[in-house]
Amino acid sequence: MGNFCIIFITTQQDSNLIFDPVFFISIHCALTCSQVLSLSLILSISQLSEVRDRTLESLNQTVDYKELKGKDPSTTELLKKIEQLEMNLAQRERQLLEKELLVDQVTRLSKPLRQQAEACQQDQLSLRKKLNDLRTRIVNTNYRLMAISAELAMKQAIALTQQQEIKERELCQQRLEQDLPPCPEIEEEWRRMLRDKKMRQRDREEREREWNQLPNGEYTTAEARPNAYIPQTDSLPLPKPYGAQAPFKPSQPGANMRHIRKPTLKHIAI
């Protein structure tokens, strides 16, 4: 009885205790048959009580639910919808059958054409090669025509230039026969050359006049400085040479003179 009490207390304290066959066999070896049956009955009762408690707890809990708004269709409406869907399905099947028949007919009609196209592939290859050759010849011919056109344009430009030169020469010949200049441009050029020649001659003469001969026989462009003066007090106006302090000639004023102001004389009151 002491063993039964210990097992019962342990079962009541531990709610997670589950019947273990190994434990039951170990006890069965030490106890009699009636004691084993009593022990199994106690374990079953304890497990049943635990299951009952859990079931009651789950029943007492409130279940959250959401009510759906709307109206359930009646049986007649459902039957009508089913009939409509069957009619639509039959119509789709009929259309599918028609399309399959159409595809079969098109396939049967296009089969000879496909065979003919496969047979003509070699001819197409030869035709493509010929077409490429002709296209290459056309491109080369176009390039040649462009080159010939450019050359012809150059020849035409040269011919026009030569014709213009011939006309100008004929006109010059006619003017020469009339004792006139060949053309107005040449006459203007001749006048300009004469004018330049006269200007050079005049400049050369002016430079020659600027040369002065010194007493020693040399020539220079420097201005002669006075080395004597005529006294104003003498009755006889004869030049008298300067002494050691000869007057100097002032230089020409430079460009910086424009920054120098002339002084203004102030009146001095006495």
Residues 6+ apart with CB under 8 A from 229: 239, 240, 242
DSSP structure class, residue 15: T
Asked if the model's pLDDT at residue 200 lies above 70, the reply is yes
How many domains, the chain? 4
Residue 111 lies in a domain: yes
Same-domain status, 143 and 111: no
Percent of the chain that is helix, strand, coil (3-state, to 5): 70, 5, 30
Provide the pLDDT for residue 4.
40
Range of the domain at 195: 180-210
Digit-coded pLDDT (tens) for 121-164? 878 888 889 999 999 999 999 999 999 999 999 999 999 999 99
Residues 6+ apart with CB under 8 A from 224: 212
CB 240 within 8 A of CB 229: yes
The β-bridge relationship of strands 219-220 and 212-213 is: antiparallel
Residue 245 lies in a domain: no
Same-domain status, 197 and 160: no
Q: What is the mean pLDDT of residues 210-218?
A: 73
Asked if the model's pLDDT at residue 219 lies above 90, the reply is no
Residue 100 lies in a domain: yes
Question: pLDDT class for 21, splitting at 50, 70, 90?
Answer: very low
Asked if the model's pLDDT at residue 13 lies above 50, the reply is no
Residue 175 lies in a domain: no
Provide the pLDDT for residue 5.
39
Residue 187 lies in a domain: yes
Residue 169: exposure state from Cβ atoms within 10 A (0-12, 13-18, ≥19): exposed
Residue 41 lies in a domain: yes
Q: How far apart are CA 214 and CA 227, in angstroms?
A: 14
Residue 251 lies in a domain: no
Residue 35 lies in a domain: yes
Of 13-17, 67-71, 223-227, which gets the smallest average pLDDT? 13-17
Same-domain status, 89 and 102: yes
Digit-coded pLDDT (tens) for 73-116? 888 888 999 999 999 999 999 999 999 999 999 998 888 888 88
Instruction: Tell me the pTM.
Output: 0.29
